[in-house]
Every structure is written in C-alpha cells, then in structure tokens.
Amino acid sequence: MTIDGRTRTCGLIGNPVEHTLSPVIHNTLAERLGHNMVYVPFLVEEGRVSDAVKGAYALNLQGMNVTIPYKSEVIDSLKDIDTLAENIGAVNTLVRTEGGYKGYNTDMEGLYRAMDSEGIRIEGEDIILLGAGGAARAVAYLCASKGAGKVYLLNRTLQKARTVAEEVNRTTGAEVVIPMTLDEYTRLPERQFLAIQGTSVGLYPHVEDVVIEDRAFYQRIHTGFDLIYSPWETKFMRLVRENGGAAFNGLKMLLYQGIIAYELWNGVKVSEEDAMAVYEKMKAHFV
C-alpha cells in the first residue's frame, strides 16, 4: 500500500481497541479492491466521544466504526441516524455526509449474512437467546424483524429480559420475544431450537465459563451460534457439539459487519470471493 496525499482514512473508536481485527478486514479489502484507503484504530478515553467524532470530521476522515463501550453514547454526536440503528439504539458505523456523520448499525445485518452463509435460517424458527445486554437486544430485534416464530429470551434477571422483550415487541409490532430467567429453560416447549449466545460469558480468558451448565439444555439445540469469536471454540459451542448439534462462532459476524461498513464508505459491493479471502486472513489469528 502506498500512502500519499490522496489517501483516505477510516478507523475505529472504542476502549479498548488494541486487539481489534477490524484493520485486517478493511486494509485487506482496500488492497484487493485497489482503493486508496487506510484503516486504523483510535483509543478514545471515557467522556471524549463527542470530541473524537468532531475531530474525525475536522480531519476529513471518510468513516468510522464504533465499538464498546460507545455504540449508544455516540448517537448524540451524529448529524443523522439510520432507522435500523435508531430502533436498535446502537450505532457501529459512521458515514461522512455534508455537515457531519450519519450513524448505521451493520452488526445485525452482519449477523444475518454470517448465519445465512452457514445455512442457518431465522424465518419461522423458534430461537433461544441467552442474555439481555446490548448485543442480545439487537439480536432479539433482528430475530423479530426477520420473522422468527418465537424468541425465548433467557437472562439472569427477569426484569431486564422483560424490558428488552417489551421494547422489541413494541418496535417490531409483533409479540415474538418471551422473557424468562435462565433457570426457566426447563419450561421451554419440547422441541429443538436455534440458540444464540449473546452474553460475554466464555470470552477469553474465562474460556471454561458458560451461562448454563446442564447438558440436558444442550440436547434441545440443533444449532448454536455464539457471538464470541475468541476463543475459537467456546464452552457453549463445545457443549452444543457434544450433544449432537452444529455450532458456530462470531468471526463471520465480525467479517460481514465490517464488509457492510466498507461498502457504505466506498459505494461498492464486496464479492463473496473477496469476503472469504479476508475471512481466511482473520481465521489465521486463531487456527
């Protein structure tokens, strides 16, 4: 890559950002597609998000990704926001427009494309969703808006699950999300489920942690999808596989949310061939 006076800059704001794989996605795509663009991570200290967004715009940055813990906080610093991001209440991509940035959420479409690439369907499926935090709330919205049958939202505290369920059901206009506590999994209907692990439990270095230990729970899962991608195989995934189900991690979700952001910034469509080339470079960090 040659950096010159015409090189455009994109980047990531968050805290921490040191272990992000996003530069692998965007710099590989720029090289493969011949775009004069470079992508770098920016550590933003607590309370400085507004300064970071104003500074990025003043420096003519083409676009930004936003990661934890700023996906909701950044909204107040935007000129405009996409309807999906507004409904989810979280932004992960900023696109430069006249007078400021417009916020988008590519996480959920990234998850949808990742699941589709593995042959996993949401439409008409009964789903177990573990967790009621920001990521799980967005997944619940995705499932409801894409035509899931029922989404059984299992969380440690019932009130938080109820809050998410009420918000998502109201926003989508469908009574799809059903709040439950974690220990109520024994009350689930007698059938096989798609299960999405939407908590941080099992994240490196706590690789032997899992939200539910009971193997009987995993016998009810035909497919498990963990949003975590480090470690490569979480305990949740292992338990799903040991009990006869298929299991996938969140690396392709990271890939596709990045690809969608790249497409927004550059007005292009990334081919599946280029997407898989990037995926192999990402995967090399783990296997």
Q: What is the pLDDT of residues 98-127, one digit of tens each?
A: 999 999 999 999 999 999 999 999 999 999
Q: Is residue 91 located within the same domain as residue 122?
A: no
Domain-located, residue 3:
no
Q: Is residue 161 located within the same domain as residue 208?
A: yes
Q: What pLDDT is stored for residue 199 in this prediction?
A: 94
Q: What is the mean pLDDT of residues 126-143?
A: 93
Query: Is 71 an annotated catalytic residue?
Result: yes
Task: Kindly state the tokens that stand for 182.
Answer: 């974690």
Q: Is residue 100 located within the same domain as residue 177?
A: no
Q: Is residue 208 located within the same domain as residue 270?
A: no
Number of separate domains in the chain: 2
Domain-located, residue 150:
yes
Q: Is residue 208 located within the same domain as residue 171?
A: yes
Domain-located, residue 2:
no
| pLDDT band, residue 168 (cuts 50/70/90) | very high
Instruction: State yes or no: pLDDT of 159 exceeds 90.
Output: yes
Catalytic residue, candidates 54, 71, 146, 281: 71
| pLDDT band, residue 131 (cuts 50/70/90) | very high
Q: Is residue 119 located within the same domain as residue 245?
A: yes
Q: Is residue 171 located within the same domain as residue 190?
A: yes
Which structural domain range is residue 243 located in?
109-249
Q: Is residue 160 located within the same domain as residue 127?
A: yes
Answer with the residue of higher pLDDT: 226 or 174.
226
Domain-located, residue 65:
yes
N-term to C-term CA, the chain: 26
Q: What pLDDT is stored for residue 287 in this prediction?
A: 78
Buried b (16+ CB within 10 A) or exposed e, 84-109: bbebbbbbbbbbbeeeebbbbbbbbb
Domain-located, residue 157:
yes
Q: Is residue 42 located within the same domain as residue 18?
A: yes
Q: By percentage, how much of the chain surpasses pLDDT 70? A: 100
With contact defined as beta carbons under 8 Å apart, do 126 and 189 qualify?
A: yes
Q: Is residue 239 located within the same domain as residue 176?
A: yes
Q: Is residue 41 located within the same domain as residue 56?
A: yes
Q: Is residue 240 located within the same domain as residue 256?
A: no
**Average pLDDT of every residue of the chain:** 96
